[in-house]
């Protein structure tokens, strides 16, 4: 499933985490393990010898954190405007899902809001 999300460049198709990875440039030893071996979404890139996270690709899974030998990677909260609301219970989740589906259906059919 993650491979499909990566290939179609749609990291948030299934779920969007309210967290994202962040690399401490001072602690990073530029080994590349996070980019080359761990990140399932190719969200870590190297520019001018420094590694950084592409926030629009990072799904906040934390896989990169586990093997960072210098412990330079942490998960931080996404900015409030980029977060999805979290339902308090299954009933609220169902209502949110129904609302989103209706909005998506209106977009597909071209129905004005």
Distance CA 113, CA 111 (A): 6
Band the pLDDT of 83: cuts 50, 70, 90: confident
- Prediction pTM value: 0.67
45 has a pLDDT exceeding 80: yes
CA distances to 8, 39, 51, 59 from 99, rounded to whole Å, are 26, 33, 39, 24
Mean pLDDT of 39-59: 91
**2-82: CATH number:** 3.30.70.20
DSSP string, 36-73: III-TT--EEEETTEEEE-TTT-----HHHHT-TT--E
With a pLDDT cut of 90, the percent of the chain lying above it is 42
Q: What mean pLDDT do residues 55-65 have?
A: 90
Q: Tell me the average pLDDT across 4-25.
A: 77
Cα 54 to Cα 46: distance, rounded to the nearest angstrom: 10
pLDDT of 85-107, one tens digit each? 778 899 988 888 888 778 666 66
Supply the pLDDT for residue 112: 60
Residue 26 and residue 74: Cα distance in Å, rounded?
Answer: 13
Running DSSP on this structure, what letter comes out for residue 101?
H
């Amino acid at each position: 499933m993650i491979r499909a999300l990566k290939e179609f460049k749609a990291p948030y198709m299934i779920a969007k985490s309210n967290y994202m990875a962040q690399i401490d440039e001072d602690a990073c030893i530029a080994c590349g393990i996070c980019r080359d071996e761990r990140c399932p979404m190719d969200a870590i890139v190297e520019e001018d010898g420094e590694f950084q996270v592409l926030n629009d690709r990072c799904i906040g899974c934390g896989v990169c954190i586990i093997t960072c030998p210098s412990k330079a990677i942490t998960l931080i909260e996404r900015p409030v405007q980029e977060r999805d609301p979290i339902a308090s219970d299954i009933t609220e989740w169902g209502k949110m899902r129904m609302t989103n589906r209706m909005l998506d259906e209106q977009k597909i059919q071209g129905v004005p809001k």
